[in-house]
Structure formats: structure tokens, C-alpha cells
Amino acid sequence: MGKMFSGKTAVVTGSGKRSGIGYAVARKLAVEGANVVIADLGLNPDPDLAVKAAGENEMADIARELAQTHDVESLAVNLDVTRADSVARMAETIAARFGKIHILVNNAGASFGVPNAVHTYDETAWMKTIDVNLHGVFRVSRALLPLMIPGGGAIVNTASRAGKVPALFNGAYAVAKAGVIMLTKIMALELAGNGVRVNAVCPGQIATDLEKWRFGLEAQFFGSTIEEREKEMCKTIPLGRIGSPDEVGDLVAFLASDRAAYMTGQAINITGGQLMEL
Ligand code: NAI
């Protein structure tokens, strides 16, 4: 039997770190035969980022690994989703190399200025958080859709449980992720006639650098340890554990595939049961 994504090309933003969700997604797509563009900060990562950004070497290394291991084409491209010129350059590079794309995973994300209540939040940090997480999805989708629309395809946005349940002292991130969920639905309606499906995933607690950083902040605040915070968190998760990037990768790959051909405009929770909705 052929692989699910043979002959298809996928772009995954925020996929340049082996510890992250983006890399797990890119790998799942490559395993199923997709050519994969690893798009991440690489050059000049934002010095205000609290969580380590992808570096150019790691990105190039990942692209090499995916190409060699899975017999696909893979390309590392520098991308800052907050900069229109960077997004445009990425789109040109992808157009020149692949001509068209079939899958876009908008996964880049970051929080600035936390922990802070809304009334003490630094304005620049607030704007930047919304720029990366929400406007980044708009910018990248807008730039790459001309490469997808002629043949149709699938977009999967990494939203968050925080887009559905208020995340205290991390307000800009939560507002941005709620925006991503609405953007997903609007794009799903607008693009249905073009054969492009648009869905979002809403992860809960997933073991990545971002999650470690968050537990670190909590440990400082409560005067405890990262391990204790993690244990406390697990008590609120019916399945009793933190999730893995691979588990999110499986869901994204499913939504990107023809197995989800009748799904669009959905925001699917992957939270170990921490969030249950009717
Ligand atoms: P991570 O911090 O390991 O990965 C984020 C990636 O985004 C990094 O590779 C970083 O270089 C990239 N990035 C940051 N700013 C960028 C920019 N301006 N332009 C291009 N790339 C940029 O975190 P993780 O956990 O892998 O996060 C992936 C996505 O999943 C994010 O959108 C995050 O908000 C979301 N998420 C993560 C959860 C978790 O528990 N880890 C829970 C819910 C959502």
C-alpha cells in the first residue's frame, strides 16, 4: 500500500527544534511520504523569547535527517512569522523549489511578558504575543494559499486549550489562540469551495520546552519544584499524565490526510481529557 502523503508537499512552521510539536508533526508527515519544509526562526531569533528558539543548524540537520531517513525532499527555510518580508521570502523559496503545496501546519507560537495580569501587562509584549500566535497564522496562510488553492489541500493550525479556557496571567496568548480558533472557522468557510479544509488542534499539556518553561514559572511563583508542579497538573488530567509531541503529531497528520476528508472548521482537543466539551 502506498504512503498516505506520497507526492505531497507540506510546510510546518515552528518545526526547527527536535523537542517541539512542530518537529513531531514534520516527522509524521515525512514518514507517510510528504516532502516537508522546516520553517522556523533560524537566523536572528527574537532575543525576548523566553523559550529557546530553533537555530539554523538544528533546522538544517532536521531537514537532512527527514530527507535521508524517509526518502523525501526536505528543506529548511528561515521564517519569522511576524515579518511580512520574511514570510514573502519563504513563499518565494517554496514556490521556486516545489511549485505547489498540499499541507500547511501553522504551528509557530510563543508567549512574551508573562506572568502578568491584563492590567499590568507590558503593551509591547502583549502585541508581540498576538502577532506571533494569531497574525502569524494569517500572514503565512495568506502567502502560501496561492500555492495550495489550485489543487486543494489541508491547513492545520496549532491552537491550544488556552484558546478555550482562560489561561490566567498569560492573557495575550489565550486571546491569540482563541483568535486562531475563529480564524480556522472563517478560513474553513471561505476555502471550502476551493477544496481546502482548515482545522485546528487544541493541545493541553504537552512535554516540550514551552511546557517546561511554564512549570518553571509556576515553581518560582509557588515556591516549589518543577516536578511538584507537574505532579499537581497531572491530578487535573483524567488520563493522569502529560502528553507527548508525537501524540499531537498523529492528530495533525490525521487532520491533514484524506481520512479527515469530511472534516473542516473544527478545533479538536488533545488534552488527556483535561478539557471535555459537548
Ligand atoms: P516550542 O517553544 O518548543 O516551539 C515553538 C516553535 O515556534 C519554536 O521552534 C520557535 O523557534 C518557533 N517560533 C517562535 N516564534 C517564531 C516566529 N516569530 N517565527 C517563526 N517561528 C517561531 O513549543 P511547542 O510546545 O512545541 O509549541 C508548538 C505550538 O504548540 C505552539 O503554537 C504552542 O503555542 C502550541 N501549544 C503547545 C502546548 C504545550 O503544552 N507544549 C499546549 C498548547 C499549544
Report the pLDDT value the prediction gives residue 1, as an integer from 0 to 100.
64
Nearest residue (CA) to ligand 1, atom 19: 80
Atom in ligand 1 nearest the alpha carbon of residue 108: 7
Q: For residue 262, indicate whether it is catalytic.
A: no
**Mean pLDDT in runs of 10 for the chain (278 residues)?**
93 98 98 98 85 90 98 97 98 98 98 96 98 99 98 98 96 98 99 98 97 92 94 97 98 98 98 97
81/23 Cα distance (integer angstroms): 17
Atom in ligand 1 nearest the alpha carbon of residue 205: 40
Backbone torsions φ then ψ of 78, nearest 5 degrees: -70, 135
For residue 47, is it left (φ>0), alpha (ψ between -120 and 50) or beta? alpha
Q: Is the CB of 272 under 6 A from ligand 1?
A: no
Least Cα distance to 140 among 155, 125, 150 occurs for: 155
Q: 113-127 as b/e, with b when 16 or more CB fall inside 10 Å?
A: bbbbeeeebeeebbe
Report the pLDDT value the prediction gives residue 43, as an integer from 0 to 100.
78
Q: Which residues contact 181 (CB under 8 A, 6 or more apart)?
A: 159, 163, 164, 200, 202, 267
Q: Is the CB of 191 under 6 A from ligand 1?
A: no
Distance 2 CA to ligand 1 centre (A): 31
pTM over 0.95? The answer is yes
Distance 40 CA to ligand 1 centre (A): 10
Q: Is the CB of 90 under 6 A from ligand 1?
A: no
Q: Is the CB of 26 under 6 A from ligand 1?
A: no
Nearest residue (CA) to ligand 1, atom 17: 80
Report the pLDDT value the prediction gives residue 47, as an integer from 0 to 100.
85
Ligand 1 pocket test: pick from 130, 135, 208 the residue with the most ligand atoms within 8 Å of its Cβ: 208
Q: Does residue 245 have a cis peptide bond before it, meaning omega lies within 30 degrees of 0?
A: no
Q: Are 29 and 36 contacting, i.e. CB atoms less than 8 angstroms apart? A: yes
Nearest residue (CA) to ligand 1, atom 3: 20
* Joined grid coordinates for residue 262: 469530511
Q: Is the CB of 79 under 6 A from ligand 1?
A: yes
Backbone torsions φ then ψ of 12, nearest 5 degrees: -125, 115
Distance 110 CA to ligand 1 centre (A): 6
Q: Is the CB of 132 under 6 A from ligand 1?
A: yes
Q: Is the CB of 218 under 6 A from ligand 1?
A: no
Report the pLDDT value the prediction gives residue 276, as an integer from 0 to 100.
98
For residue 182, is it left (φ>0), alpha (ψ between -120 and 50) or beta? alpha
* Joined grid coordinates for residue 46: 527574537
The 10s digit of each residue's pLDDT in 211-258 is 999 999 999 989 999 999 999 999 999 999 999 999 999 999 999 999
**Which domains are delineated in the chain?**
9-204+243-266 (3.40.50.720), 205-242 (no CATH)
Angle between helices 56-70 and 21-31 (to 10 degrees): 20
Report the pLDDT value the prediction gives residue 172, as an integer from 0 to 100.
98
